[in-house]
């Protein structure tokens, strides 16, 4: 088994990721690498349908040479790379869902359309539909969106409160490590602060997915995943919600958050677990539907 993982590492491309894209790349690589070889090849063939112009957009987003070969892990940043492109701007709110500060759960009233919950359902249907129609570029787009949304819904600040725009208005103070706000801290800095190579991050996050049985991409499960993320935002270690013992209202943090080693030690295990959940759930979808 150790020899298998070593050979797999040797076959992986040596790739550097923009920090905002590393979480997405990790989720997709972890989901991909435990698929059957025939399924991996099908994904590789779908990725080959990405037009040259869109491949260049991905590489520019990842701060690489525009001619760099795109892998599935790379392509999972496509939904971010196209956000400013005409024809795709409407997808901007699909990356998250925000609720009122007295909400304990995400409900259908919070997300009937144009949020990460409805996005997952929509692009699941689009992927399966296009697979029957054999429109490969549209099917590839649906796969890339779906892969991206699955990571987003597991990043807690993508399922949080409207009044502070998902932590974007909560500033980071001392030891910011280049992060301006709490949302960015969870998007990038918790990963960056690990100071690990791509291979070591994969090794730290890798778990076997063969025990996953009933965690499919249904509306019920997607709302469960969203609510798991919302619950994490309310934990004291995040310093996002100022909760009273007898009050479920999430009062907004009014002071800057200090990104200390203690903050990192408390919260990296939470983000790590969420990345693993996202990868396992994506893996299960791919295993059943590729």
CB 117 within 8 A of CB 223: yes
Beta-bridge partners for 160: 98
Q: Which of 44-53, 71-80, 90-99, 241-250 has the lowest mean pLDDT?
A: 241-250
Answer CATH for 96-289 from 1.10.575.10, 3.40.1160.10, 3.90.1150.10, 3.40.50.720: 1.10.575.10
- Over residues 211-230, the pLDDT tens digits come to 656 678 999 999 999 999 99
Share the mean pLDDT of the chain.
89
Q: Which two tokens stand for residue 134?
A: 């054999």
pLDDT band at 10 (very low <50, low <70, confident <90, very high): very low
Q: How far apart are CA 30 and CA 202, in angstroms?
A: 7
Q: How far apart are CA 145 and CA 148, in angstroms?
A: 5
The answer, yes or no, to whether residue 19 has pLDDT greater than 80, is no
DSSP state of 290: -
Handedness of CA 168, 115, 106, 288 (dihedral sign): negative
- Over residues 96-119, the pLDDT tens digits come to 999 999 999 999 888 878 899 999
Q: Domain residue spans in the chain?
A: 96-289
Q: Which two tokens stand for residue 235?
A: 């934990």
The answer, yes or no, to whether residue 200 has pLDDT greater than 80, is yes
**Which pTM was predicted?**
0.91
CB 46 within 8 A of CB 143: yes
- CA-only gyration radius of the chain, Å: 19
């Amino acid at each position: 088994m150790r020899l298998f993982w070593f050979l797999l590492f040797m076959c992986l491309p040596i790739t550097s990721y923009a920090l905002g894209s590393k979480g997405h790349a990790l989720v997709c690589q972890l989901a991909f690498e435990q698929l059957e070889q025939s399924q991996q090849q099908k994904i590789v063939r779908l990725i080959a349908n990405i037009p040259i112009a869109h491949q260049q957009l991905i590489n520019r987003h990842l701060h690489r040479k525009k001619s760099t070969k795109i892998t599935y892990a790379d392509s999972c940043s496509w939904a971010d790379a196209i956000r400013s492109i005409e024809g795709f701007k409407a997808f901007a709110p699909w990356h998250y869902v925000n609720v009122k500060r007295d909400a304990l759960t995400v409900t259908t009233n919070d997300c009937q359309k144009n949020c990460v919950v409805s996005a997952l359902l929509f692009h699941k249907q689009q992927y399966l539909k296009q697979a029957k129609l054999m429109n490969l570029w549209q099917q590839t787009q649906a796969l890339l969106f779906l892969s991206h949304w699955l990571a987003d819904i597991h990043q807690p600040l993508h399922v949080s409160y409207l009044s502070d725009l998902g932590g974007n208005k909560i500033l980071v103070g001392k030891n910011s490590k280049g992060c301006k706000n709490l949302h960015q801290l969870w998007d990038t800095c918790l990963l960056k602060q690990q100071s690990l190579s791509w291979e070591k991050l994969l090794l730290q996050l890798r778990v076997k997915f063969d025990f996953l049985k009933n965690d499919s991409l249904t509306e019920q499960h997607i709302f469960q995943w969203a609510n798991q993320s919302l619950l994490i935002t309310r934990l004291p270690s995040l310093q996002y919600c100022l909760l009273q013992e007898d009050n479920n209202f999430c009062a907004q943090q009014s002071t800057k958050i200090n990104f200390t080693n203690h903050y990192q030690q408390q919260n990296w295990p939470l983000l790590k677990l969420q990345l693993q959940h996202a990868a396992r759930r994506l893996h299960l979808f791919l295993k059943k539907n590729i």
